[in-house]
Chains A and B, each alone.
Chain A
Amino acid sequence: MSPAPENGPAETAGWKQRLWAYLSDRVGLDAMLALGVKKRVPIHRTTVFYFLGGMALFLFIVQIVSGVLLSLYYKPSPDQAFESVQAIMSEVKFGWLIRSVHSWGANLVIGVLFLHLLTTYMMRAYRRPREFTWVTGLLLLALFMALGFSGYLLPWNQLSYAATNVGTKLVGVVPVVGEYLLKIARGGENVTGDTLSRFYALHVAIFPLLALALMGAHLYLVQKQGMSVPPRVAESHGGEDKVPSMSFVPDFLLRDAVGWYLALGILAALAALFPWELGEKADPFASTEIGTKPEWYFLFMFQLLKQLPGTIMDLEWLEGEMVGVLFFGAVGSIVLLVPFLDRGDRSRRALNFFAGVSVIFFIVMTAWGWFDELPLQIILGTSLLLAVLALADRFLQRGTPSRRALGVAAALTVLVLIAAIIRELTR
């Protein structure tokens, strides 16, 4: 950094400029800024999906802040956990708001990550050399689901107790090592105070540290390799370099800030209008209530396990539960390996088919598990499907057969949705 010109007018070298020069000399601010200015973000029909990662990062920061605040009053013991959350909700000023922000934020961050995953797949941004960006991202999604699961037990209410029982039991059906995994996860045979301590340590220390490390790797890779341009976009412009772009600082960052503001607004509205409920204190010996179900992002697994018979084809060694758990393990592995499985047109068609089936499976199972009445299930399912179709529409070129097929599917879905709404209203 060269010293400021001495003959410059006094006004231009105000305190801001002097502070900037002072920090640049010592912390290298100008080098960081240069990196941000140099980074380009391509502009095309699906640029809007580049905001999802930043939004998830913002929500993660909200989770850290609200989580640290909650830890100031929360007490992780079976005798005090429920009471301390009750005190947070009723005695501590704005405690209800902080807890609701944390609970809603957890759901939003996972929702945004699902969308981030789906749109990244649709943009095919996992291609060489970004395989590890995909892998770290998927591990982050799994980690955030684990954060949601471990945090769910902490209020120590009936619902969280049941969810932890079911969730840890599923670990137990893994062949050979399942029994040991179950004991390690629960800290014993049953869900007890030791389980609560374990989940607390996982939730406030181990998982957040892992998340920060993985996020560091993920962001480093994004920074190193730059934003991916979807192959079709690059083709239509005649090369990746010819795609119009904006600089990350300040053009994209300011738009990012708008996305963060939007996320904050949605989060604040949800937390203020629908404060998170506490329920009843966990009683390990009470019967589980009817209608107990997990958070929406575990519902698709829960619903399948509910449908599987105790043993499949009457084979004693083939337990339904075990098959379900192994099935989801296999699906998860395929998603994790997508960048390595995409090896040309044929494998890509197979992957797209697999992705389509997975998304439809997720939607059907979630809608099925969410509501008890068929018309409501259909309304939720078709609405979700329409949202995904609208998402996919952005990625398809006009006049192509797949776009026409998508239009037909959307029209059919709308018809079914209208029929279900009429049915529900006239019931």
Chain B
Amino acid sequence: MGDEPESPERRTWLLGALSGAVGTTLAAIVYPIVSFLWPRESTESGAMNVVAPFKANQLPDSGGHWPPPFDFGGKPCLVIKTPGGEIRAFNAVCTHTDCTVQFQPDKGQFLCACHNGIYDLNGFNVSGPPPRPLETYKVDFRPTGTPGEEEIIVSRT
């Protein structure tokens, strides 16, 4: 505390100690805040398969009322029947900007209304801006005893 100047080493050491302490404090503040901001685990669904809310024979052959997408692990899932009678399941999230596509049975295609993206019945992106095909799911049937009323089980491939 006298009039003599501090030695440079002492000054450097003090500055280092102060920066270290302040840095540690900042880390102890930032780390909990970043962890807090990270989504909690319960928001991520790990579901590997789901039973569709309708039976196989409830899908119309053409036109008529088509069941809307349903929840599969937090994403909308579309189950369709091709003109050939094959049942297919898709993740209805458009690969372009995450809108939900709609099935157009009369045109035999999926339309994304946001930017006019078109997918065919295999889920391939055939026109418009979508960069990739729709994600496809595996479809299985679980017999219920009555023919035609099988449950539709959609699972990730």
Residues of A that sit less than 8 Å from B by CB: 65, 69, 72, 87, 91-95, 97-98, 261, 264, 268
Looking at B35, B38, B41, the one whose CB has the most chain A CB atoms below 10 A away is B35
Q: Which residue of B lies closest to A101 (CB)?
A: B32
Q: Which residue of B lies closest to A92 (CB)?
A: B40
A261–B42 alpha-carbon span in the complex (Å): 36
Q: Point out the residue from B25, B35, B37 that lies within 8 Å of A72, measured CB to CB.
A: B37
A-chain residues with CB within 8 Å of residue B37 when the two chains form the complex: 69, 72
A91–B32 alpha-carbon span in the complex (Å): 14
Q: Report the minimum CB–CB distance from B39 to chain A (whole Å).
A: 9
**Complex contact A87–B40 (CB within 8 A):** yes
**Complex contact A93–B42 (CB within 8 A):** no
B33 within 8 A of A: yes
B36 within 8 A of A: yes
**Complex contact B36–A91 (CB within 8 A):** no
**Complex contact B32–A97 (CB within 8 A):** yes
A183–B42 alpha-carbon span in the complex (Å): 39
Q: Report the minimum CB–CB distance from B136 to chain A (whole Å).
A: 33
Q: Which residue of B lies closest to A97 (CB)?
A: B32
Q: Report the minimum CB–CB distance from B20 to chain A (whole Å).
A: 14
Q: How many A-B residue pairs have CB under 8 A?
A: 30
Q: Which residue of A lies closest to B21 (CB)?
A: A261
Residues of B that sit less than 8 Å from A by CB: 25, 28, 32-33, 35-38, 40-42
* Secondary structure type dominating chain A contacts: helix
Q: Which residue of B lies closest to A72 (CB)?
A: B37
Q: Report the minimum CB–CB distance from A340 to chain B (whole Å).
A: 43
A72–B39 alpha-carbon span in the complex (Å): 10
**Complex contact B41–A94 (CB within 8 A):** no
Q: Which residue of A lies closest to B22 (CB)?
A: A261
A-chain residues with CB within 8 Å of residue B28 when the two chains form the complex: 268
Q: Report the minimum CB–CB distance from B97 to chain A (whole Å).
A: 25
**Complex contact B42–A91 (CB within 8 A):** yes
Q: Which residue of B lies closest to A265 (CB)?
A: B25
A81–B120 alpha-carbon span in the complex (Å): 45
**Complex contact B41–A95 (CB within 8 A):** no
Q: Point out the residue from B25, B36, B42 that lies within 8 Å of A94, measured CB to CB.
A: B36
**Complex contact B40–A91 (CB within 8 A):** yes
A72–B36 alpha-carbon span in the complex (Å): 10
Q: Report the minimum CB–CB distance from A307 to chain B (whole Å).
A: 44
**Complex contact A69–B40 (CB within 8 A):** no
A94–B42 alpha-carbon span in the complex (Å): 16
A-chain residues with CB within 8 Å of residue B38 when the two chains form the complex: 93
A379–B155 alpha-carbon span in the complex (Å): 68
A-chain residues with CB within 8 Å of residue B36 when the two chains form the complex: 69, 72, 92-95, 98
A-chain residues with CB within 8 Å of residue B40 when the two chains form the complex: 87, 91-93
11 A-B pairs with C-beta separation under 8 A = A65-B33, A69-B36, A91-B40, A94-B32, A94-B33, A95-B36, A98-B32, A98-B36, A261-B25, A264-B25, A268-B28
**Complex contact B33–A93 (CB within 8 A):** no
Q: Which residue of A lies closest to B38 (CB)?
A: A93
Q: Which residue of B lies closest to A65 (CB)?
A: B33
A-chain residues with CB within 8 Å of residue B41 when the two chains form the complex: 91
Since A65-B33, A94-B35 are in contact, a sample of 13 more A-B pairs with Cβ atoms closer than 8 Å, ordered by chain A residue number, is A69-B33, A87-B40, A91-B40, A91-B41, A91-B42, A93-B32, A93-B35, A93-B38, A94-B32, A95-B36, A97-B32, A98-B36, A268-B28
Q: Report the minimum CB–CB distance from A384 to chain B (whole Å).
A: 31
Q: Which residue of A lies closest to B43 (CB)?
A: A91
A175–B38 alpha-carbon span in the complex (Å): 51
A95–B33 alpha-carbon span in the complex (Å): 9
A-chain residues with CB within 8 Å of residue B33 when the two chains form the complex: 65, 69, 94, 98
Q: Report the minimum CB–CB distance from A99 to chain B (whole Å).
A: 10
B-chain residues with CB within 8 Å of residue A268 when the two chains form the complex: 28
A92–B32 alpha-carbon span in the complex (Å): 10
A93–B38 alpha-carbon span in the complex (Å): 8
Q: Which residue of A lies closest to B39 (CB)?
A: A92
A91–B36 alpha-carbon span in the complex (Å): 10
A-chain residues with CB within 8 Å of residue B25 when the two chains form the complex: 261, 264
B-chain residues with CB within 8 Å of residue A93 when the two chains form the complex: 32, 35-36, 38, 40
B-chain residues with CB within 8 Å of residue A91 when the two chains form the complex: 40-42
A93–B28 alpha-carbon span in the complex (Å): 14
A167–B41 alpha-carbon span in the complex (Å): 38
Q: Report the minimum CB–CB distance from A45 to chain B (whole Å).
A: 21
A91–B38 alpha-carbon span in the complex (Å): 11
Q: Which residue of B lies closest to A264 (CB)?
A: B25
- The 6 A-B residue pairs with the shortest CB-CB distance, nearest first, are A94-B32, A93-B35, A91-B40, A94-B36, A94-B35, A92-B40
